[in-house]
Amino acid sequence: MLPTDHLLRRVDRCLDIGELRQALAGHYSARGRPSIDPELLIRMALVGRIYAITSERRLCEELRYNLAYRWFCRLAPGDKVPHHSTFSKNRHGRFRDADVFRILFESTVRRCISEGLIGGKDAAIDASFIAADASWQRKTVPGYLPYVANASRAVREWVHDTRDAVFEMARSKSCQGVSRTDPAAAWSARTVRGRFGYALNALVDTPSGVALDVKATPARFAEEVDAGRVMLERSADRFDYRPKRVAADKAYGSANFLGFVRDHGAIPHIPVIDRTQQTKGKLPRTAFSYDRDIDSFTCPTGKPLRHHAFHLPTGVHRYAADARDCEACVLRKKCTTARRRTLVRLDDEDVRDLARAEVETGLYKRSMRLRRGVERFFADAKGKHGMRRLHLRGIRGAEEEFLIGAAVMNLMILARSNRLNGKPRRGVCVPAALTPAEISARSIEHDVIASPARRYA
């Protein structure tokens, strides 16, 4: 009934649940009623994400009569389907304690590495906005959230994670409010109408499209950049993945992140956030030459601008000219309206110069083309696997959905690669128990019946 080249058959060949069984072994007792196999729930969750079934009630309903779903979940035609509430009980308990979905995702990454799909030379980092399961109308300030004892699980988790930061956020003038339903989500105006949401941060091996790591953060640019550091460190620690080049958009072009990428052993192919040309008609900083040996700038007329101060938290060095030199300068009106001209240089200015120089190389242009792979990752997640809006609430729920989605997309890449390695062609329904000779004979028979020319010949 199920063709050998069916999607779920190909995904099943690439799926390894052994690590999950070990991780959940301590959560079960030999006494009591027979429990539901966790592998069944995990396979059901994978089916729901593969076919974009976001409702657990609908997933359980379709599992009752869909033969392909039952085969993938190892359910016989007469076996009972678990109740939809079983997902919630296990998700907020055993699965989160054992970090099941992180283990599942990382097992797919190791399988991709063992299959030789990951090149390890080019990587891309980016983030995409995913709407939270929270209405834009239910917005309030942090101090007016419901009492914690009567609040929902998402509110209790957020208050526990933030602690004293809740009151600091309430006093902040820059706070745009939080959601009564999902306060961990950040208010974002990236859509036509402002919405609450999370950022799906992904580290992707760009030639293959395999996701090496994903992380959920509130939809704020500063936290997305921090997530990029976490993903690079975690992938190096767990998979020894150290790409030679890292590509990203201009949001990651700060000196601190560029320096982190360089210290990580990679060349940053990232546009630099540069405001040196925003001088309001005055001479730009590029008109001044910098001498590294004496740590000083020289103006167009040959006067020095010596080191004046250093701000440790931001890593900014300040240089200033002598006021007497500026008073007698013929370029004073074009240079500054202040008493003397000042310049700044970041502590990681060397890596900014490196990133600027890389823009003119052919490898940089190649990295920008390959960076489309991470955009394809987001497009598939939203368009094919139903991740335009989250089903779970809270930062932990968002992380869980992102890990399942990334695991599914890695499995799809594995299934596609296995399909090209001598698998039976499409349209031939062959039981899995047949031998290769029988499979070949049935394929020939199918071709003879399907071709009138062969039949009459």
The pLDDT tens digits of the residues spanning 166-202 come to 555 555 555 667 888 888 888 888 766 788 999 999 9
Q: How confident is the model at residue 450 (pLDDT cuts 50, 70, 90)?
A: very low
Matching residue, tokens 């983030």:
127
Three-state SS at 84? coil
The pLDDT tens digits of the residues spanning 312-334 come to 777 788 999 998 888 888 888 88
Q: Smallest Cα–Cα separation from 141: which of 177, 174, 166? A: 177
pLDDT tops 50 at residue 272? yes
- Where do the DSSP E strands lie in 206-266? 210-218, 245-247
Mean pLDDT, to the nearest integer, of 387-413?
Answer: 92
Cα angle 231, 233, 238 (rounded to 5 degrees) comes to 95
Looking at this protein, which amino acid is placed at residue 228?
A: G
Query: C-alpha distances in angstroms, 269 versus 4, 212, 258, 420?
Result: 43, 18, 9, 32
Q: Smallest Cα–Cα separation from 425: which of 448, 452, 449, 444? A: 444
Note whether 135 and 141 are within 8 A (CB): no
* Separation between Cα atoms, residue 250 and residue 39, nearest integer Å: 42
Q: Smallest Cα–Cα separation from 220: which of 338, 118, 127, 345? A: 127
For the ranges 165-169, 376-380, 444-448, the lowest mean pLDDT is seen at 444-448
Q: What is the pTM of this model?
A: 0.80
Note whether 384 and 408 are within 8 A (CB): no
For the chain, percent of residues with pLDDT exceeding 70: 84
Q: Smallest Cα–Cα separation from 128: which of 347, 406, 407? A: 406
CB count in 10 Å sphere of residue 440? 13
Phi (first) and psi of residue 195, to 5 degrees: -145, 160
Note whether 343 and 305 are within 8 A (CB): yes
Note whether 112 and 414 are within 8 A (CB): yes
Phi (first) and psi of residue 128, to 5 degrees: -135, 145
Note whether 199 and 216 are within 8 A (CB): yes
Q: How confident is the model at residue 234 (pLDDT cuts 50, 70, 90)?
A: very high
For the ranges 76-80, 204-208, 246-250, 309-313, the lowest mean pLDDT is seen at 309-313
Q: What is the pLDDT of residue 213?
A: 96
Phi (first) and psi of residue 327, to 5 degrees: -65, -35
DSSP state letter for 35:
P
Q: How confident is the model at residue 423 (pLDDT cuts 50, 70, 90)?
A: very low
Q: How confident is the model at residue 378 (pLDDT cuts 50, 70, 90)?
A: very high
Task: Check the CA dihedral 14-130-380-5 and report its sign.
Answer: positive
Query: C-alpha distances in angstroms, 1 versus 43, 236, 385, 431, 439?
Result: 20, 44, 25, 8, 15
* Separation between Cα atoms, residue 49 and residue 79, nearest integer Å: 22
DSSP state letter for 120:
S
Three-state SS at 140? strand
Three-state SS at 345? strand
Q: Smallest Cα–Cα separation from 217: which of 160, 148, 161? A: 161
CATH code for the domain defined by 119-271+357-403: 3.30.420
pLDDT tops 80 at residue 35? no
Q: What is the mean pLDDT of the chain?
A: 82
Tally the C-alpha atoms within 13 A of residue 3's C-alpha that lie toward its C-beta. Answer: 12
CB count in 10 Å sphere of residue 258? 25
Mean pLDDT, to the nearest integer, of 256-274?
Answer: 91
Q: What is the pLDDT of residue 140?
A: 73
- Copy the structure tokens of residue 31: 């006494």
- Where do the DSSP E strands lie in 331-453? 342-346
pLDDT tops 70 at residue 432? no
